[in-house]
Structure 1
Amino acid sequence: MHPLLSYCGGVGVMRLFRNGFLGSTKSTIWQTFRGFSSSGIHHETELSGVENGKRQEREIQRYGTISRVSEPFYAIPGREPKVVSADEAVTVVKSGDNVFVQGVAATPTPLLEALCRWAKKANLKKVRLHHIHTEGPLPHLKPEFEGVFRDNSLFMGANVREAVNAGKADYTPVFLSEIPSLFRSGAIPLDVAFVHTTPPDNHGYVSLGTSVDCTRAALEMAKHKVAIVNPRMPYTFGDSFVHISQLDYLVQEEFELFQLEAKPPNAVQERIGHWIATHLVEDGACLQMGIGAIPNAVLSKLRNHKDLGVHTEMFSDGLIDLVECGAVTNSKKAINPGRIVSGFLLGTRKLYDFVDRNPLITMHDIAFTNNPVVIAKNSKVTAINSAIEVDLTGQVVSDSIGTKLYSGVGGQVDFIRGASLSQGGKPIIALPSTTSSGISRIVNFAHPGGGVVTTRAHVYYVVTEWGICELHGKNLRERALALISVAHPDHREALEKAAFERGLLNQ
């Protein structure tokens, strides 16, 4: 018995041997579980009103009308993957190929290292790698691989910023909700997908674990699919299941996932968290938050709230305490009531153990989690997002510092818009009033080259450590006054003068 098959256990092993990893197509164990569609979108929802249901179905179904190479949930009779080494698996990559790389905690580093070795051996040229945020070192960005690989970030992490800003790697600005459509429509054609999964279960299914996001779409469209099978990957539910017959190569390796240890919030971040938790998050709110000190500061102050829900693109360790103390029940949600909905995860081993085989957590295609129409079906959606700077009219710069690219468009607009359409929703932009060097982040004009991610028409609430200002429905003069009121006191006089000179305030 191959050691990989030992993970399947008992009767499941015999079925895998007897039927080539698959089992009989007549057997009910290979039928689609209730709640999954051919689009990879989970339909276990409860909606109020017939019309609301029809509208949601129309919006969701459009993701199921795009042709795809394969639906990764279904078993393919008579087909099984090859169990090989990483060095053998990556030989499927040829010059000129487009390769998808799963990201965040699931970044398949051993495959990237093997790909670099193969590139030297096979003299590869012009291989493009596409991904969202990745963790850890990226060996293909080393100077020796210039001309061999071209990296394309759909959302940047710290490990690619230098290369992107030096013009040695690329960045594609795109809403997170629309990244799957880039693959499904063929706008970014995929030859190979590198993914990171759990070992197969008794029925031959692996789980994408911490990162479903756009990975599922990549698996639908890629011609060749390579998976690292790692027992350290948590087994998650939702749209995360892939049948091993859909995969071409399995690479068995055990190693710890990338982890992110949250730093304690500083005094400024604590004050921002206080303003949001005390004045903007209501009982029964449905939360979206990212990772970082400000989201953690907010979460730490919500223990006395009741019936909170979570529908988010991602979350980290800070949510665990709210579940365990009973503040998060998800009982008021219309979409996946009772469950936490997310697209990807990044945190510590505590988080990965918490989500492992936990039916409370349901992981989904980011085209579903970040669809503003879906988001808006929940009431009191409270979306908390960060910014680099906000100008006096309310324009939000989030992906760049002047001309220096920093992160990406991400899901900010998806959730800001979804929250604004939600009954009782609150779209929130939160940021410290100054940089670490004391420069104001409330500015007259955005720095030249700064990218406006969220427009002035999208913004409702801006929160700094000095308070909350509500911009929705306010004219430009009122907005300028409101934003100056939450700027750092040291900068208010200069901002007021600039607003007069600009004509935003009366002389």
Structure 2
Amino acid sequence: MAQKLGVREFSTTARVLRTLVNPGSHEIAFPIRGKEPVRASIEDALKVVKSGDHIFVHGIAATPTPLLEGLCKHAEANNLNKITLHHLHLEGPVPWIDAKYNKRVRSNSLFTGGNLRKAVNEGLVDFNSCFLHEVPLLFRRGAVKLNVALLHVSQPDENGYCSLGTSVDTARAAVTNADYIIAMTNSNMPRTFGDGLIHQSHIDVIVDQEGFPLHLRHTVEMTDTERKIGKIIADSLVDDGATLQMGIGAIPDAALAALKGHKDLGVHTEMFSDGILDLVENNALTNSKKNIMPGKIVTSFVYGSKRLYDFLDNNPLVHFGDVQWTNDPSVIKQNPKVTAINSAVEIDLTGQVVADSVGRRFLSGFGGQVDFIRGAAIGNDGLGKPIIALPSATKKGQSKIVPTILEGAGVVTSRAHVHYVVTENGIAQLWGKNMRQRAYELIKIAHPDNQASLEKAAFERLKVMPSAD
């Protein structure tokens, strides 16, 4: 007799989905007969929030800014305190860090964007390190007990279904484990396919915010160095038929821009931005060789332009998955030629990668870098390529390949995880190499102005000259 599934009937396999269930979770995709959400103003919707509550906040493009602004006013008006917000990267204003509110509301940032970075380093916001594919487990296993979830969803359709839109990532785990759900609805939120369906009967209060603009990614012109790094990656490390993962930033964008001549590329990633669109339009990206959801682009969230959000609306080409599944290395490794392209702040001569901090200053978070670096390394076909890419030097000429990482900096990707490192000067292959050989490989791709000093520093650290053999 077939086994009945508890949650995520929309997943790829029963086995994988059963790993996303916990005894306290409640499915959100079926209609509850006779139950309708209350429709209310922001002020009335937030009356349920009390001192000590733990609140999930939908993030990135979907950041529910009007609800967050209303929450701060509610906390002040009702003398509330010890409210904790749990979230990934947020966009838009963050009023709770102001002196008026910061004794009442505090963020537990599971990945930090630019709007909270200063506050993190001033002690006004808590910085949390966690592999992205494990963040949903914080909610599913009760390490973080959520009282309320604040969402930004599409307007209900004729059957009463809303979509989590641009960010399914950790949001699905949050809403299936939160006690109370407040959602702002908005037709600007694209209706996306995959694990992001929520029937309105599971929403306690709907706040209509029709016309609110989604948050847009602001990009700057790529530098010649970034373009060169992207071309090296595309020409030397990405094969036809590869399954791509890319982080966010100029270097992943540069690599995508250089891939237009490739064939039958696929995407299985934690996130993507506008760089994917041109590859879809010229048929370089077909997803035809993938083993996991062939024919579909798989992601957990997106962040980009209005062009990107319009592309996603009602587009079955893109599958949005729970990040506990999309970023699981045991899932990632099943795809062919997994090529993971990620950035770094600095790398030491033994291969330790710093990506979430600059010395003692916190910058961002773990994100999915390690999830995909490992997934590519253990690919079933043995053809995966885990790539760390960075300019060889800062704009001021300071080497990003360093003898030792800055004091206080955190290692995100360990030296044992690193395979390929790319700068504008070439490729270093570190896997299987000892420390002397690694130093040699990395010094070769360092900026020429810094190579002599790095070689001297390597000898001082290792007590032996760097060499290829």
TM-score, normalised by the number of residues in structure 2: 0.96
- Residue 394 (str. 1) matches residue 362 (str. 2): no
Is it true that 1:155 corresponds to 2:111 in the alignment? yes
In the TM superposition, 1:171-186 aligns within 5 A as 171-186=127-142
Q: Take 1:234 and 1:495, find their aligned partners in 2: how far apart are those partners?
A: 50
CA contact (8 A) 2:133 2:371 kept: yes
**1:4-403 mapped onto 2 (5 Å cutoff):** 38-40=6-8, 42-44=10-12, 58=15, 60-64=17-21, 66-253=22-209, 254-403=211-360
Equivalent position of 1:463 in the other structure: 422
Q: Distance in 2 between matches of 1:289 and 1:91?
A: 41
Q: Distance in 1 between matches of 2:371 and 2:50?
A: 36
**In the alignment, is the contact (CA less than 8 A) between 1:69 and 1:221 conserved in 2?**
yes
Partner of 1:28: none
Aligned residues with identical type, % of pairs: 53
Corresponding position: 1:482 with 2:438: no
Shift of 1:438: 1.3
Indicate if the aligned counterparts of 1:40 and 1:216 stay in contact, CA closer than 8 A: no
Q: Distance in 1 between matches of 2:205 and 2:330?
A: 37
User: Where does structure 1 differ by over 4 angstroms across 4 or more consecutive aligned residues?
Assistant: 57-60
Matched, 1:405 2:362: yes
**8 Å contact from structure 1 (residues 296, 318) kept in 2:** yes
Is 1:431 the counterpart of 2:395? The answer is no
1:437: how far off? 1.5
Tell me, yes or no, if the aligned pair for 1:199 and 1:229 is still in contact at 8 Å. Answer: yes
Distance between the aligned counterparts of 1:451 and 1:274, measured in 2? 29
How far 1:43 moved relative to its partner? 3.3
Report matched runs for 1:407-422 at 5 Å.
407-422=364-379
CA distance in 1, matches of 2:304, 2:270: 14
1:121 to partner: Cα distance: 1.3
Is the contact between residue 129 and residue 149 of structure 1 (CA under 8 Å) also seen in structure 2?
yes
Structure 1: how far apart are the matches of 2:201 and 2:186? 17
Q: TM-score, normalised by structure 1?
A: 0.89
**Does structure 1 retain, via aligned residues, the 8 Å contact 2:59–2:87?**
yes
Letter in 1 for 2:451: R
- Return the match for 2:413 from 445, 454, 461: 454
Structure 1 gap segments, 5+ residues each: 1-35, 46-56
Partner AA of 1:84 in structure 2: A
C-alpha change, 1:425 and 1:109, in structure 2 (3 Å) is: same
2:348–2:404 CA contact under 8 A, matched in 1:
yes
Displacement of 1:69 = 3.5
8 Å CA contact retained: 1:232, 1:256 = yes
Distance verdict in 2 for CA 1:76–1:167, change over 3 Å: same
**Secondary structure at the residue paired with 1:135?**
coil
1:141: how far off? 1.2
SS in 1 for 2:247: coil
Say whether the 8 Å CA contact 1:69–1:223 is kept in structure 2.
Answer: no
Matches of 2:11 and 2:40, distance apart in 1? 36
Cα deviation, 1:238-265, whole Å, max 9, x if unaligned, reads 0010011101000001211000133231
CA distance in structure 2 between the aligned counterparts of 1:95 and 1:505, rounded to whole angstroms: 60
1:168 deviates by 1.1
- 1:206 aligns to what SS in structure 2? strand
Partner Cα separation in structure 1 for residue 202 and residue 408 of structure 2: 44
For residues 386-439 of structure 1, the C-alpha deviation after alignment (integer angstroms, 9 at most, x for no partner) is 010000000001110000000001100000000111121100000011112211
Aligned pair count? 460
Kept in 1, the 8 Å contact 2:90–2:113? The answer is yes
Secondary structure at 1:105's aligned position in 2?
A: helix
Q: Distance in 2 between matches of 1:154 and 1:148?
A: 19
